[in-house]
Amino acid sequence: MNATPQVLTVLNDLLSAAAPDARGALWQLAEPGRELDANLVRLPPDAGVGEHREDVLDVLLVVLAGSGWVVTGPEESLPLTPSTVTWLPRTSRRALAAGPEGLTYLTVHRRRPGLTIKPPPAAYEGEGGEAPCLLDRVCPECGRLSAESAPVFCGACGERFPGR
């Protein structure tokens, strides 16, 4: 691992060079040996990331451009405008909704733990058979598994799932 500080990207340059209709994860922190993950995400006007819950990680969301809302309940939301810094604590339920000009934001969180094989919950003991295929819940853009049974947008990068 390189322990020397370095500039990875200049977000304004990255955004101005991106196609106007570019969406989803425009940049991801990918340095080997890192302990953080970060993603630059752009949602188009009036798009969103469906309701989800992150059980393991706190997420810091920093709005760079556009506007929108973090939807925290049926009648509850937090406004998002440029320079808004929002903490999304682990176990909180939330959705994102972009405003009419879209929403561009940076997320930063501790690096996600690797996937592990866990024993089945007690409710399934003795049932046998194979687990259902979850490929329809794997984001085609970033490869993350959605906790939702029929996700429309990836909770990690904002990419739309095919056919939804």
How far is 54 from 56, CA to CA, in rounded Å?
A: 6
How much is the pTM? 0.67
Structural domains in the chain (count): 1
Structural domain includes residue 144: no
Residue 7: pLDDT over 60: yes
Averaged pLDDT of the chain: 85
Domain of 73, CATH number, reads 2.60.120.10
Structural domain includes residue 143: no
Please give the pLDDT value at position 33.
Answer: 83
pLDDT in tens, 135-154: 778 887 777 888 777 888 88
Mean pLDDT, residues 109-120 taken together: 70
Structural domain includes residue 164: no
Give residue for tokens 């690797």.
114
Give residue for tokens 């990331």.
49
C-alpha dihedral sign at 155, 158, 159, 161: positive
pLDDT in tens, 22-75: 889 999 998 888 889 999 999 999 999 999 888 888 999 999 999 999 999 888
Structural domain includes residue 49: yes
Structural domain includes residue 48: yes
For the chain, give the percent of residues with pLDDT over 70: 86
Annotate 25-43 with b (16+ C-beta within 10 A) or e (fewer).
bbbeeeeeeeeebbbbbbb
Q: Which structural domain range is residue 33 located in?
A: 11-114
